[in-house]
Structures are given as structure tokens and as C-alpha cells.
Amino acid sequence: MTPSLALNLALALLLLGMAGWAVLVRSTQAAVIGFMVYGLLLTLAWARLDGLDVALTEAAIGGGLTGFLLLGAAVRLRSVEHRAMLQAPGLATRILAALAAGSITLLLAFAVLTLPSPAPSLAPAVAENIAMTQVGNPITAVLLAFRALDTLLEALVLVLAMIGIWSLADDRVWGGRPGFAIAHDASGILHYAARILVPIGVVIGGYIFWIGADDPGGKFQGATLLAAMWLLLVLAGLRDAPRVSSQTLRLWVVLGPLVFIGVGGLGSWVAGSFLGYPQGYAKLMIVAVELALLPSLTLILGLLIMGAPKREIGR
Amino acid sequence: MSLLLNLWTILAVSLGVFFFLAGTLGLLRFPDVFTRLHALTKADNLGLGLVVLGLLPQMNSIHAMLKLLLIWLLVLFSGAIVSQMLAQAVRSGKLD
């Protein structure tokens, strides 16, 4: 057995074990932590498959951000978890659930095992046409030129998700600030961490964003890092969470999607198709869209974690 | 020369892995949060540090070496912060 095969095998076994743990463990919080570890292992798996862009996104969004959201949900559910555990579903429900889940697993396994080999791939087409987009990273070329519509819809979905979370607010606190007021403690450890880490994190976030044109990286990964730095500032009490009624905040949130749609409209006017880029200006357009999306995504991802407004305006 | 560098990598990474093993063992076996934190920092500080030092000669640019060192420093920093916060939470009775 070659060392590389042994490593892959160990990784696959760990992934399966972690997935089993996340499903079977009784405490919701433990399951979520299992899910986050699973995300980290999946990052390693993607890196082993040379999918560095996917690995970065999995680490930032799949394991990190989603894990954090689920952890928040687990904490909120803690008070009712015990009661929910007592109401165990009947035998028939369990058998039905097991059958449904089992058949989905079988279908997926069947689908994966019957994939044609070599798998149908658009990679040669991308490699042939990447010069037109003037970017060096094929992933970025696919996300922002060949399949730009998908990326636009992705950004819009995030805005909708944020509105969905905001709409969970009580009427009394609508328009107020999310989260609880955090007292700033200048001698506290978080104050120190925020002072040191935030400047470094902002530089690294900007670097990951900028390098996305030619190497693995991009706006989503960069924005996640920037959002994390913003959250650190808020948690340390150095900056309060924004009022969700703030017009400036809302403007920045929709700026990215609006610029994206604007560039798309320009395409249907100049280049003859929605989201088409005029000859020779592709790189400029892509950078403009990415640059506009970065602050919007940073705000949206941060606000998703901060949750629904909890405090009245003025408090 | 390259043989020497490779030997150095093997030695340092193996030693680093040993500290990771020892740290994990401590995490599983030690009786309370404080001693477990103590075990964890061994893996972060010495384990990762030795792995990074061992990998340095395998990098083909100063740029990549600096990135590796930065990763180590960031892990050191976040490890120190998180240990402090966990220990504080335990001492103030918010966690057990």
C-alpha cells in the first residue's frame, strides 16, 4: 500500500466516522461540533483532490460559517431539547424514516457508481476559452464569466436569507440591533485578540480576495474572513452591531447584487446577451463585480451570524 | 545538501507528530479542563512548530516559507486566546 493511498483511506474512514457521529450522537451541540470537524476533514479531502478553491470554500463556508450558524441554533434549542427527546417517535415513523433515508443512500450510491468513465467534462471547453475572460484561475472564469448567472443567483439567495433572518424579529425591536449589548472590557482577552488579529485578518482577507483572479481564492473566501474579523470586533465590544434599519447598511448590502445586475444589463445592451462581457473588457467587468460583491458579502455573512434584531432602536 | 535537508525534515516532522500524539493523549486522559488545555498547547506550539520548521526547507520560495511561519504564529495566537477564554469561563463557573 503506498503512503498516499493509506492517507486517502484514513481520510475516507475518518470522514465516514465523523458523519456517523454527527448523525448518531444524542446531544445537538455535540452533533454540530461533529459536523464542523467533518467540514475540516472534507476540506482536507478536497485539497487531496487538488480542488483548492473548493477546499477553501468548504473551510470558510461549509465548516466555518454553517457550523457557527448551526451552533447558534443548537444553543437556542437547548431549553426544549430534553422535552423533544422524551417524545420519541413511534416504531412505524422510525421504520419509515429509516426506509426513506436508506433508499436515498442507495440511489446516491447507484448514481455515483454508474457514472460514465471518464466523466463528462466541460473542463476542455473552459481551458480553450479562458483567454477570453483574461483571468488566470479557471474557477473564477467559470463563476464570473461562463456561469455568472449562477453566482448572481447565489448572491441574491444570501440577501433573501438575511431578510428571512431579520423577519424573525419581534415587532417591538424591529429595526434595532441584533444580538445582546456587549460591555467593552479594555483589559479583557477578546479586546487584546481583536486589536492584534483584526488588522492581520483584514490583510489576509484582502489577499485571498485579490489572488482569486489567478490562484485559488476569491470574494466568498475573502468575505468570510472579513466577516469573521467584523464579528470579532463586535464580540470584543469595540464596535456595536449595526441597526438593521440603517439605510447606509442596506445600501452596502445590495450594492454588490445591484452592480452585478447592472453589469449583466450592460452586457445585453453592448455584448448582446445578459451578463455577456464586451470584447476586451472581461477582466475589468469581473474585477468590478467582485469588488462590489466583497463588501456586500462581508456584511451579509456577518449579519447572518448576528441574527435577528433583539434590541430596540436607541439601545 | 538536499539529503541533509530531507533528513532534517523527516526528523522535525516526526518529532512534531510525536508532540501531537502526546497532546491528544493528554486531552483524552487528563482529569480537568486546565490540564487538558495544557496538553493541547503542546500540540499547537511544539507539534505544529516542529512540523512547520521541518517543512521550511521543502518550500521553493521565501514567500511560501513566510506563509508557513505566519500560519504557525496565527495558530499560536488563537490557541493562546482560546485557552485563556476557556480557562476564564471555567473559573467563573460558566462552564464545567
ipTM value? 0.84
> Is residue B69 included in any domain, yes or no?
yes
A&B contacts, CB < 8 Å: 15
Q: Based on the structure, what is the number of domains in chain B?
A: 1
pLDDT band at A124 (very low <50, low <70, confident <90, very high): confident
Closest residue in chain A to residue B85, using alpha carbons only: A189
CB contact under 8 A, B81 and A192: yes
Residue A212 has pLDDT above 90, yes or no: no
Q: Report percent pLDDT > 70 for chain A.
A: 99
In this structure, is residue B53 part of a structural domain? yes
Segment B11-33 shows an average pLDDT of 91
Residue A189, min C-alpha distance to chain B (Å): 7
Mean pLDDT of A261-276: 84
Taking the model in full, what pTM does it have?
0.86
Is B77 among the domain residues? Answer: yes
pLDDT, one tens digit per residue, over A7-65 is: 999 999 999 999 999 988 888 889 999 999 999 999 999 999 988 888 988 888 888 88
Residue A60's pLDDT is what? 86
Distance from CA of A216 to the nearest CA of B (A): 15
Contacts of the segment A68-76: beta carbons below 8 A, 24+ positions apart: A68/A305, A69/A304, A69/A305, A70/A32, A70/A35, A71/A29, A71/A32, A71/A33, A71/A36, A72/A305, A72/A307, A73/A32, A74/A28, A74/A29, A74/A31, A74/A32, A75/A29
What per-residue confidence (pLDDT) applies to A200?
94
pLDDT of the residue at A313: 67
Of B42 and A4, more confident: A4
Examine residue B96 and state whether it is found in any structural domain, yes or no: no
- The pLDDT assigned to A1 comes to 66
- On the question of pLDDT at B96 being above 70, the answer is no
Name which of B77, B85, B88 is nearest A197 (Cβ-Cβ): B77
- Measure the CA–CA gap between A47 and A51, rounded to whole angstroms: 5
B50 located within any domain: yes
Give the separation between CA A153 and CA A143, rounded to whole angstroms: 11
Which residues of chain A does B81 touch, with a Cβ-Cβ cutoff of 8 Å? 189-190, 192-193, 197
Mark which residues 52-81 of B lie under 8 Å from A by CB: 74, 77-78, 81
Residue B53, pLDDT score: 93
Cβ-nearest to A196 among B77, B84, B88: B77
pLDDT digits (tens, 9 = 90+) for A170-181: 888 888 888 777
Which residues form the domain of B27? 2-91
User: Does residue B78 form part of some domain?
Assistant: yes
